[in-house]
Amino acid sequence: MNINQLKAYCNAFPGASENLSGAPINVLSYKVHGKQFAYFKTSEPEQWRFSFRATFERFLELTDQPGIKPARYLQRFYWVTVVDVQTINEEYLKELVEWSYHKAVSGLPKKVQAEINAICSVNHEKRLDEDIQL
């Protein structure tokens, strides 16, 4: 999965929005109703490094792998940074980003969570129908 594919994947989540912050932050962030679930660094020397939140167990597992390190300033919340997204298995990366998205959704008001979960259920059923037709 390349950077553009990963950007499109992050934007495809229900309620997701993309926000570009200029200097001095230089981050392209992905949020769901104001709760961040992933971001890219947009300036050198860390340009296009990708960060997301993980579980405590996954944090330990991921940071033991080459090319993945604790995210600066956010490691205490179990955020990790992938130096080059193309080096990570696509399905595994999607699973990690999806978990981070759902973690952000879990911090939203219950009414908003219910709306998003309803959309996710419909989208999941559509994907299953498409898979069956193939």
Print the domain residue range for 83: 3-107
Look at residue 38 in the predicted model and tell me its pLDDT.
Answer: 97
46: nearest Cα among 22, 20, 26, 62: 26
Asked whether residue 54 is domain-assigned, the answer is yes
Number of domains in the chain: 1
Asked whether residue 10 is domain-assigned, the answer is yes
Which of the four pLDDT bands, split at 50, 70 and 90, describes residue 133? very low
Asked whether residue 133 is domain-assigned, the answer is no
Instruction: Extract the tokens encoding 4.
Output: 């553009």
Residues 33-46 have pLDDT tens digits of 999 999 999 999 99
| 122 vs 118: CA distance, rounded Å | 6
Single pTM value for the model: 0.87
| 97 vs 99: CA distance, rounded Å | 5
Residues 109-125 have pLDDT tens digits of 999 999 988 887 766 44
Asked whether residue 129 is domain-assigned, the answer is no
Q: Cα-atom radius of gyration of the chain, to the nearest Å?
A: 15
Which of the four pLDDT bands, split at 50, 70 and 90, describes residue 131? very low
Asked whether residue 59 is domain-assigned, the answer is yes
Whole-number average pLDDT of the chain:
88
CATH number of the domain encompassing residue 48: 3.90.1150.30
